[in-house]
Structure 1
Amino acid sequence: MLMEKEPVYLAFSTQKGGAGKTTLTVLVASYLHYVKGYDVAVVDCDYPQHSIAGMRQRDLKLAMEDNHYKALAYEQFTRLGKKAYPVVESSTERAIDDAERITGQAAFDLVFFDLPGTVNNPSVIRALSNMDYIIAPISADRVVLESTLRYMTVVNDVIRKTGVSNIKGTYLVWNMVDGREKSELYEVYEQVIAELGLHVLKTFIPDSKRFRRELSAGHRPLFRSTLFPADRSLLRGSNIEALTDEVLTLLNLRDNG
């Protein structure tokens, strides 16, 4: 672990709802914590839905009531020797204070923030300015793309260039990529993105129904969970492993796996 270093604050953030920021936060956080051996925490300040905090409640309920998941949790705890990562229900006003409180109580390598999709609120701007890295999911949809590019331009040109932010890097990541779409479309979009001075990660995330698969009474292989990593059979072809490795490289964190 990187006990001697300050934790990295990271947010998958965009102002467009349904872009996948919450799902990516959970998938990457769980993979890093349960597979790669990092100590992570999640601060959920996406009021009022608090999707990740809600997911943790559902996960815990099933894990306590269902013998299958109870056994999985016990096996995982025994193997890893570490508990589930904390999910803190917060607000944009309290986000940084809550993060400092939990990182003052235990050592963490990364703290993920699930932020609301707006930049017209002083508390959101304060939270964004305290991130070390911001990664915005984008899709090949003109409305989504234009909205996200405006959002990231504000982050870069207004928040980051004030000189009082902690932001070290901002990136875009292609999400919900339809394999049937021609790559030329993405090349055109990436030319526009490059002209704006923004950077796109090499890894893209395909569009797949597996991203919505949570713990279930039927014990189907799970993908999205705050208590367990994605099932190996579903992880293949999802590019979550590649995305996580690329993020670790960007953050200059060594591989604990």
Structure 2
Amino acid sequence: MTQNTPENPIYLGFASQKGGVGKSSLAEALASILYYEKGIPLLVVDCDGTQESFFKLRERERTLIEDSKELSDQLMAHFTRFGKPAYPIIRSRPGRAIGDAEAFLRKTDKTAALVIFDFPGHAGAEELLELSIGMDYIITPIEADPQSLVSSFAYAQTIRDLGVSFGDARIRDLLLLWNKINRSANMAVVDYYTRYAEDESLNLFNARIYHSVRFARELGQGGVKGVFRSSYLPPARALRLPTGIDAWVEETIERLHLNPAAV
């Protein structure tokens, strides 16, 4: 069993074979809930190329806070109560992401039980595969689009097979996650590919994430009490209740054998 300690952090990658499936938004929500609510020390490595969703989100928030005394005071009060600074985010590239994470943790006084890597949406096949098998776990969001599902399942099968083939591969599991589920839509595609995943022995989260425009609400739109997407705050509880986020976070904690602390 993986032990998440500062000396031996778990490496968790977020990867997708199609843009727009919500990979980075889910990674951001998970990081903030685990760190600010569950007390899990973590580091984020943004290696998502030109997108750099994590890094750019932090930069937008910093600018907004600097320009608003009200937000600045509210965030100062938040971190005073929390007793720790915000989790660190570093920029990197796929070929050096793991080395950069290790170097950052060695050279600073930061500790991490978990390192979250936001994978690039598009990268060279060899570079992406090397980064993938260097993870302990990968979470791959999928949505009910047959064309994108074919590539996502092919990627999952490749990573599974590589993990078995290479004795020194770190990868333990790749977990598929249904995202952007429309509650009112026909579930035939979801049901079919859920059965397909089971038949192919691919692991799929029991939890599902439901579509909501609330995912896009940042500090500038929702303020401290109504934010969903933030690197300084967890998503507001009232906003995330209908999304299935909390059930997914709890299942992630269980599947990755994370050890939440009292906050």
- Short-chain TM bin: over 0.9
Q: Which residue of 2 aligns with 1:250?
A: 255
For residues 29-71 of structure 1, the C-alpha deviation after alignment (integer angstroms, 9 at most, x for no partner) is: 0111111111111100111221211111001111222122212
In structure 2, what is the equivalent of residue 107 of structure 1? 111
Q: Distance in 2 between matches of 1:3 and 1:142?
A: 39
Alignment partner, residue 206 of structure 2: 202
The equivalent of 1:24 in structure 2 is: 26
Partner of 1:84: 86
Q: How does 1:96-245 map to 2 (within 5 A)?
A: 96-104=98-106, 105=108, 106-118=110-122, 120-216=124-220, 219=223, 221-245=226-250
Deviation at 1:241, TM superposition (A): 1.5
CA distance in 2, matches of 1:41, 1:161: 29
Q: Is the 8 A contact 1:119 1:125 kept in 2?
A: no
Listed one character per residue, the Cα deviations across residues 174-193 of structure 1 (whole Å, up to 9, x for unaligned) are 00000012445422221111
- Post-superposition CA distance 1:204-231 (Å, at most 9, x none): 0001101111121673711001111111
Cα distance in 1 for residues equivalent to 2:104 and 2:166: 28
Q: Which amino acid aligns with 1:156?
A: R
Question: Over residues 72-98 of structure 1, what are the superposed CA-to-partner deviations in whole Å (9 max), with x where a residue is unaligned?
Answer: 211121111110111101111220111
1:204, 1:239 within 8 Å by CA — same for their partners in 2?
A: yes
Task: In structure 1, give the amino acid aligned to 2:28.
Answer: V
Identity of counterpart residues, as a percentage?
34
Distance in structure 1 (CA, Å) of the matches to 2:149 and 2:221: 37
CA RMSD of aligned residues (A): 2.0
Go from structure 1 to structure 2 and tell me whether the alpha carbon gap of 1:201 and 1:217 turns closer, same or farther (over 3 Å shift): closer
State how far apart, in whole Å, the 1-side matches of 2:69 and 2:243 are: 28
Partner AA of 1:146 in structure 2: V
Distance 1:46 1:54, change over 3 A: same
Q: Is the 8 A contact 1:39 1:109 kept in 2?
A: yes
- Distance between the aligned counterparts of 1:72 and 1:3, measured in 2? 32
Whether the 8 Å contact between 2:94 and 2:128 is mirrored in structure 1 is: yes
- Per-residue CA deviations over 1:113-136 (Å, capped at 9, x if unaligned) read 011135743332222111000011
Partner-residue secondary structure (3-state), 1:29: helix
Q: Which amino acid aligns with 2:239?
A: L
Q: Is the 8 A contact 2:14 2:24 kept in 1?
A: yes
- Amino acid of the residue matched to residue 17 of structure 2? Q
Number of the residue aligned with 2:51: 49
- Of residues 107-116 and 4-13 in structure 1, the stretch that sits farther from structure 2 once superposed is 4-13
8 Å contact kept, 2:221–2:227: no
The answer to whether residue 76 in structure 2 is matched with residue 74 in structure 1 is: yes
